[in-house]
Amino acid sequence: MNDVETLRDDTTTRTSAGTRLRGWALLNWVPIVLVFASLLVTGIVTVRHTQALSPLDEWVYYDYTLKIPSQGIVRQGESIGEGALEQMSCYGDFFGQRGDPCGSSYSDVRSYPQDGKTTADIYTPLYFGFTWGMGEIIHAVTGLKFLTAARLTGFFWLSGGVLVLYMLMRRFGIPKLVTLGIGLAVIASPSTIWSSTYISTDAPALLAGGAALLFAFRAIDRRRGAWWLIPIAVVSIWLKVTTIFGVGLAVLILLMYALWHRRADPLDSGHRRRLLILAGSTAVAAVAAEVIWLGIHAAIAIGPGPSQGLAAPFSWRGLLDLGAIFLSPGPLMAGGWNAGYGIPNLLMLPMTWVPVAGIIGVLFMATRSIAVKSFGIATAISAVAFAPALFFAMNVVLGSVFPVIPRYGIALIPAFVVAAGLIVRNRLGTWITVAYGCVCVVAVIAAALITR
């Protein structure tokens, strides 16, 4: 029996062909519901946002987006443009209006955050080009203000992310109702509200991490097109460098599977060799993509960037403290629930349990197959070691360190929730999962409608 078959739910494998066919027909509704829920949540929450900017760097992201048609790229040392200056002066951000008075010349750039200089130059134009293009289309069709239209582009990243998550759940044989409940919880999570209803470079991370994981398992399952993992890694890095965590997890899974597959089937050297080549090529491509971009970034710089006051000296205590950052509160809670909505903290509390519960549960299931063992152990390593590794790498490369926060781990969310889905094995757990996802979605939408 191959790895795909061993991962199927025991009950499903014993059903008749007719029952499986009916189940498949019903299962096709799950991605439709998830995409519709994504549209509903991102649409309502985004439209109910005020014109005040998000505190999570939306000011500089909005500036980058506005500059796409005129210059295509933002350079280090560049000043914020008039459009974003006006937005900050007239509407402010989480901390209120700042800078020159609304309607003035906006010439006193030092009265703005970071002396009116951009901090978005570290990003390629890839995300912002998409945001500007789709934002202009939404603006033209709906008549909404461009900031709102640009924010609405988060729907495309989120819907892509939940579709990939659905395909991952299918690959692992996770029941359709469990997939639905978990998908709805992801859609309603604080991480999604922050990254998919504002202009945010975190928006593509769920899709990027899920896609890397999906194509790693396509390679393990000997399916065609697994080599797409290499360009996915490159594009992911060019969208945001922290998606390296999702790429790193995919590479680690391939390496572990090749190691254990050698013991289980020493004669199948060809498959192991292909997996090792793919893992190595993906890792090299991801690192090369970032090196190339850093070279371009340095070459086009026009001056030093602003000091954000975040750099700090390296400490071993700080490194050790990061070992739990992706476990609690975890990336589903990235940004915290401070979006201005009256959501009870107790409702979101189970999302902080997902990484720990999922990882512990899937490790206990690791004897079921080589694929589950590789997935479980690699996910556990990524949750504990990836944040400290980034912290240490910053010290080596930069000579100082910056805070590593839960939202840097958004690309790991697909692995965490798949692990959680694997441990839901009975009817009661299934219906609790579905009920929880539905309640979260309803609560988020209701709060958005009531509080604005």
SS3 content of the chain, % helix, strand, coil (to 5): 70, 0, 30
Q: Is 423 exposed, middle or buried (0-12, 13-18, 19+ CB in 10 A)?
A: middle
The whole-angstrom separation of Cα 108 and Cα 113 is 11
CB 85: neighbour CB atoms within 10 A? 25
Q: Is residue 412 within 8 Å of residue 382, measured between CB atoms?
A: yes
Bridge partners of 401, per DSSP, are 312
**pLDDT for 452:** 61
Compute and round to an integer the Cα radius of gyration of the chain.
Answer: 22
Helix axes 370-398, 354-364, angle to 10 degrees: 130
Handedness of CA 59, 352, 447, 161 (dihedral sign): positive
**pLDDT for 149:** 98
Q: Kindly report, residue by residue over 122-157, the tens digit of the pLDDT.
A: 999 999 999 999 999 999 999 999 999 999 999 999
- Tell whether the model's pLDDT for residue 376 goes beyond 70: yes
The whole-angstrom separation of Cα 230 and Cα 274 is 13
**pLDDT for 313:** 78
Q: Which is nearest to 118 in space by CA: 67, 76, 62? A: 76
Ramachandran class of 8: left when φ > 0, alpha when ψ lies in -120 to 50, beta otherwise:
beta
* Alpha-carbon dihedral angle through residues 105, 106, 107, 111, given to the nearest 10 degrees: 150
Bridge partners of 79, per DSSP, are 117
**pLDDT for 11:** 37
Read off the pLDDT band of 264 (50, 70, 90).
low
Which residue did the predictor score with more confidence, 402 or 351? 351
Q: Using a CB cutoff of 8 Å and minimum separation of 24, what contacts does 87-90 make?
A: 87/51, 87/53, 87/59, 87/62, 87/147, 88/53, 88/59, 88/112, 88/113, 90/51
Q: Which is nearest to 176 in space by CA: 363, 431, 436? A: 431
User: What values do phi and psi take at 131, rounded to 5?
Assistant: -65, -40
Q: Kindly report, residue by residue over 178-194, the tens digit of the pLDDT.
A: 999 999 999 999 999 99
Which residue did the predictor score with more confidence, 263 or 394? 394
CB 102: neighbour CB atoms within 10 A? 14
Read off the pLDDT band of 10 (50, 70, 90).
very low
Q: Which is nearest to 34 in space by CA: 183, 205, 188, 191? A: 183
- Tell whether the model's pLDDT for residue 260 goes beyond 90: no
Q: Please state, rounded to an integer, the average pLDDT across all residues of the chain.
A: 89
- Over residues 59-78, the mean pLDDT reads 97
- Over residues 33-37, the mean pLDDT reads 97
Read off the pLDDT band of 368 (50, 70, 90).
low
Q: Is 55 exposed, middle or buried (0-12, 13-18, 19+ CB in 10 A)?
A: middle
**Hey, what are 63's tokens?**
């500036």
What is the percentage of the chain residues whose pLDDT exceeds 90?
A: 67
The whole-angstrom separation of Cα 289 and Cα 36 is 34
**Hey, what are 441's tokens?**
């979605």
**pLDDT for 399:** 75
Token pair 């460098």: residue: 241
Give 41's contacts (C-beta < 8 A, 6+ positions apart). 187, 188, 192, 441, 444, 445
- Over residues 85-108, the mean pLDDT reads 92
**Could you tell me how far CA 15 lies from the centroid of its own chain?**
36
The whole-angstrom separation of Cα 94 and Cα 130 is 25
- Tell whether the model's pLDDT for residue 172 goes beyond 80: yes
**pLDDT for 18:** 47
- Over residues 50-76, the mean pLDDT reads 95
**pLDDT for 4:** 41
The whole-angstrom separation of Cα 219 and Cα 274 is 8
